[in-house]
Amino acid sequence: MLRIETRNAKPGMTLALPVQLPQAPSRLLLRVGYKLTGQTINKLAELRVRTLWVGYPSLSFLGEVVNQDTVRTQSVVAGQITKTFEAVQQQSSAKLPYHLYTRSISKLVHQLISHPQSAVFLGDLIDAGDDLMRHSSSVTYLSLLMGLKLEGYLVRERRHVDPARAAEVVNLGLGAMLHDVGMTLLPEAVHERFEASGDESDPAWREHTALGYRLVRGKISATAASTVLHHHQHYDGSGFAGADFPIMRHKRIHIFSRIVTVADQFDRLRFPPDRPGQPTVWALRCMLEAPLFHRYDPHVLDALLAVVPPYAPGSLVTLNDGRHAVVIDHHPQRPCRPIIQLIPDPSSLTQDDLPLGPMLDLAEQAPSVFVAQCDGFDVGDLNFERPKILPQPQDAVSALSA
């Protein structure tokens, strides 16, 4: 299987993953095995379906990183986010089925634990309607991936809780799912101002954290509600939580909030409100450099790098020497030096099986060979090494798996 941009799809290609309707993510649009037609491709582009996963028998091994049950549950969660935000805007939030949200998050967690090889961020597998819905869905999934990777750290950071309970991440996922629900309560003028400028210093926009917290307080667990309130609090003491709430720093901020803060910032860098979408490698590099690095718990940033490859498996890349390849695996310790499989020029791809060239581990290649393009972006100047300011590998292992 291979991830391609919808605009590069060709008639006759067969879907390897289902396609959901972006405006209603829980509604199936196209099933696995559907053969694309020119008319269908044009319609998908009109519906703002950005990427498709298509099947190639020679790349069938990439199916190990995508679990279809997990994708289906992600679709359910995305659909629940959409319905929730619409209900709040219609002032019918008192009837929200929070118990169903908890059940869906629990199911998603179970599937991630049962299929650890698929617990990696491959880009947005679910196109969830408008930007706010897509963002909330992405932050939920990312937060769960990081929370599971940080199991030992969660136990250490929640010493007052029984270790078995401390490692549970369902309430983390619930808080992430609802973290921006307060945005739906902001005046339209505030929304428009933020979408045009991306200015996070706007006092009116900053109130969305407090508005969301007051909406869910007493209806969901205290840790999940606290995550809604504090997801813009920063480790270095910057950030905000609404005019009536104090600013906190370091370990005073609950670990769930620290995780959602990182997921939130990473996704906003990928899709800034005032610019087109940006490549994952650029967003990661920004997170790992000053001034942003100091805002976040280093152990949480380390977890982000562990579950979000700069070049995700299934991605099409071009090397600086002009060769084309598909990414098949990644190295968290050498993040921008993935394992790749050489392929023909992607512009010549058809519905026929893909002839494969040699496999290359870029971590073992000379530094003069590197990824220069990915998903249509020039990324040669964005590649980075694992920052020394992150926990060292032995420390990271103990924090992530102790």
DSSP secondary structure letters along 136-184: HHHHHHHHHHHHHHTHHHHHHHTTTS-HHHHT--HHHHHHHHTTTGGGG
Question: pLDDT digit string (tens) for 222-280?
Answer: 999 999 999 999 999 989 988 888 888 899 999 999 999 999 999 999 988 777 789 99
Options 3.90.550.10, 3.90.105.10, 3.30.9.10, 3.40.50.1000; CATH for 2-55 is: 3.90.105.10
What percent of the chain stands above pLDDT 90? Answer: 56
Does the structure show a pLDDT above 50 at 37? Answer: yes
Question: pLDDT digit string (tens) for 149-202?
Answer: 999 999 999 888 888 888 899 999 999 999 999 999 999 999 888 888 888 889
- Banded model confidence at residue 209, pLDDT cuts 50, 70, 90: very high
- Banded model confidence at residue 397, pLDDT cuts 50, 70, 90: very low
Q: What is the spatial distance between Cα 310 and Cα 336, in angstroms, rounded to a whole number?
A: 6
Q: What is the spatial distance between Cα 50 and Cα 62, in angstroms, rounded to a whole number?
A: 20
- Banded model confidence at residue 129, pLDDT cuts 50, 70, 90: low
Question: pLDDT digit string (tens) for 297-318?
Answer: 999 999 999 999 999 999 999 9
- The structure tokens listed for 395 are 């420390």
Pair 22, 79: CB distance under 8 Å: no
- Banded model confidence at residue 398, pLDDT cuts 50, 70, 90: very low
What percent of the chain stands above pLDDT 70? Answer: 96
Give the model's pLDDT for residue 396: 44
Domain with CATH 1.10.3210.10 in the chain: 64-307
* Higher pLDDT, residue 399 or 32: 32
Global pTM reads 0.92
Give the model's pLDDT for residue 128: 60
Give the model's pLDDT for residue 401: 46
Q: Which of 80, 9, 86, 85 is nearest to 49 (CA)?
A: 9
Q: What is the spatial distance between Cα 4 and Cα 19, in angstroms, rounded to a whole number?
A: 13
Mean pLDDT, residues 329-352: 88
Quote the crossing angle between the two packed helices 68-89 and 170-177, to the nearest 10°.
50
Q: What is the mean pLDDT of the chain?
A: 89
- The structure tokens listed for 339 are 């394992």
Question: pLDDT digit string (tens) for 89-109?
Answer: 888 777 889 999 999 999 999
- Measured on CA atoms in the order 87, 178, 139, 190, is the torsion positive or negative? positive
Question: pLDDT digit string (tens) for 3-15?
Answer: 888 888 889 999 9
Give the model's pLDDT for residue 399: 44
The torsion defined by the Cα of 202, 272, 142 and 57, in degrees rounded to 10, comes to 170
The DSSP letter of residue 372 is E
Question: pLDDT digit string (tens) for 59-89?
Answer: 888 888 888 888 889 988 988 998 899 899 8
Quote the crossing angle between the two packed helices 298-307 and 393-401, to the nearest 10°.
90
Q: What class has domain 64-307?
A: mainly alpha
Give the model's pLDDT for residue 25: 74
Domain with CATH 3.90.105.10 in the chain: 2-55
Does the structure show a pLDDT above 70 at 395? Answer: no
Q: What is the spatial distance between Cα 386 and Cα 388, in angstroms, rounded to a whole number?
A: 6
